[in-house]
Amino acid sequence: MATPFALDPQQRAWSEDLRTLAAEKLRPLAAAGEPGRVNRPLVAALGELGLLARLFPAEGAAAGAAAGSATGPAAGPAAGAAGTVHAMDLCLLRESLARECTEAETALALQGLGAYPVAQSGSARQRARWMPEVIAGRAVAAFALSEPAAGSDAAALELRAEPDPSGAGDGWRLTGEKAWISNAPEADVYTVFARTGQAPGSRGVTAFLVPGDSAGLSGRGLDMLSPHPIGTLTFDGVPVGAGDVLGVPGGGFRVAMRTLDLFRPSVGAFAVGMARAALAAAVAHAGERRAFGGPLKDLQAVSHQLAEMATRTEAAALLVYAAAAAYDAGEPGIAARSAMAKLFATETAQYVVDAAVQLHGARALRRGHLLEHLYREVRAPRIYEGASEVQRTIIAKELYR
């Protein structure tokens, strides 16, 4: 039986509450931040409001109660079984925050992306050390997979984990570089993927948990189009031991892919949130702006453009919700559904934002305008966590599986 994916009244009400929370509490903190830098007050607020706890029910239960979120907007619909990360919750959080404050959305998503491998595969000691700090917003997490020569082809990574020359027997030294890492170089803890064996492709990859202050670890920020922090990491013999492995040696690629299967639909949700914000701005502008003897909305070319934008946005949202519902229900074909949701939603958001800019004209290109901001934000999701071309490859392969 197909999983129903229409939002119920409680989910819709929660989404509205989240939008209000983002506009009133988070947007001012985002505005006070420095582009390209980790906004720690914003991350702390996500923790205090219980939004990070919502991503990790088991580890976040105590943090959410302490923050008083059980009766507030962060509580939302019933969270379900403790310990499960719910794709639908993640999608609703990201879409709702993105409509009002993309900086808050991205800060929340990066905490989830960096910490989910710990919740998924970490030992009891690793979870106890890092999950409460991440969920409270006191520690900033990051997911370090991409490299200068291994972006879309993640299995081609070259960061080396070589046996520790001290002869301890259960340790490695990490040597190499990571690139395009969100929250780098300012994160407090990184999920790092390195090659521990001679096996080709994905079979020789191990996931490690690496504190940001580790000896031999350095990095620098990159000046990017999108405003959130992105940087490089350099590993100069960074020591890691058996207790730093997430999962099992050689099982790191599976840790990465399980993380991306969860987060890809939510990248689509981020895109849907931006598309909805751009569509709302375009509808309002076309109803108010007068040209050629009447409001823009009365011009057929404009009204048809708005109709197309609205239809594509709704289709993208439904595809995202369907993928999230299927993930939560444990249905088969998650890889293809996640890829479809990310592909269609991010491509749709690019189209909708661009069309909204065109309808607004030059005013939308002015620094500080909502659409100028969205125009810079909307481009990156078509690349990160698997470019659109990679998503099409995944979908095509799944057709023949």
CATH number for position 378: 1.20.140.10
pLDDT at 81 over 60: no
Range 314-330 average pLDDT: 94
pLDDT at 331 over 50: yes
pLDDT of residue 397: 95
Question: In terms of domains, do 108 and 154 share one?
Answer: no
> How many domains does the structure of the chain reveal?
3
Active site residue 385: yes
pLDDT at 65 over 50: no
Residue that finishes a domain, picked among 227, 250, 273: 250
pLDDT at 106 over 90: yes
In Å, how far are 21, 93, 97 from 14, measured between CA atoms?
Answer: 10, 9, 11
Q: Under DSSP, is residue 297 helix (H, G, I), strand (E, B) or coil?
A: helix
Split at pLDDT 50, 70, 90, the class of 6 is confident
Set 158, 331, 385, 398: catalytic member: 385
Q: Which domain holds residue 208?
A: 143-250
Q: Of the candidates 252, 327, 317, which has an alpha carbon nearest to the alpha carbon of residue 88?
A: 327
247 in the Ramachandran plot: left (φ > 0), alpha (ψ -120 to 50) or beta?
left
Range 79-85 average pLDDT: 52
Q: Which residues pair with 240 in a beta bridge?
A: 172
pTM recorded for the entire structure: 0.90
1 within some domain: no
CATH number at residue 215: 2.40.110.10
Residue that finishes a domain, picked among 250, 266, 292: 250
pLDDT of residue 93: 96
320 within some domain: yes
Q: How far is CA 339 from the centre of its chain?
A: 14
**297/305 Cα distance (integer angstroms):** 10
Split at pLDDT 50, 70, 90, the class of 339 is very high
Question: In terms of domains, do 64 and 129 share one?
Answer: yes
2 within some domain: no
Which tokens hold the place of 167? Answer: 């002869």
Q: Tokens 């997430």 map to which residue?
A: 246
**96/18 Cα distance (integer angstroms):** 6
Question: In terms of domains, do 236 and 152 share one?
Answer: yes
Question: In terms of domains, do 30 and 164 share one?
Answer: no
pLDDT at 118 over 90: yes
Question: In terms of domains, do 179 and 126 share one?
Answer: no
Range 244-269 average pLDDT: 92
Which among 60-64, 145-149, 177-181, 201-205 has the top mean pLDDT?
177-181
Residue that finishes a domain, picked among 250, 283, 303: 250
Using CA atoms in the order 377, 378, 383, 386, what is the torsion angle rounded to 10 degrees?
A: 110
| Radius of gyration of the chain measured on its C-alpha atoms | 21
CATH number at residue 27: 1.10.540.10
4 within some domain: no
Question: In terms of domains, do 296 and 391 share one?
Answer: yes
Question: In terms of domains, do 324 and 353 share one?
Answer: yes
Question: In terms of domains, do 60 and 110 share one?
Answer: yes
> pLDDT per residue over 372-396, tens digit each?
999 999 999 999 888 999 999 999 9
Q: Of the candidates 61, 49, 37, 382, which has an alpha carbon nearest to the alpha carbon of residue 184?
A: 37
pLDDT of residue 5: 63
Question: In terms of domains, do 369 and 330 share one?
Answer: yes
Question: In terms of domains, do 201 and 279 share one?
Answer: no
Whether 122 and 209 have beta carbons less than 8 Å apart is answered as yes
Range 240-257 average pLDDT: 93
Q: Of the candidates 239, 236, 87, 209, which has an alpha carbon nearest to the alpha carbon of residue 144?
A: 209
Question: In terms of domains, do 98 and 185 share one?
Answer: no
> pLDDT per residue over 13-22, tens digit each?
999 999 999 9
Question: In terms of domains, do 151 and 204 share one?
Answer: yes
352 within some domain: yes
132 within some domain: yes
Pairing mode, if any, of strands 141-144 and 189-195?
Answer: parallel
Phi, psi dihedrals of residue 398, rounded to the nearest 5°: -65, -25
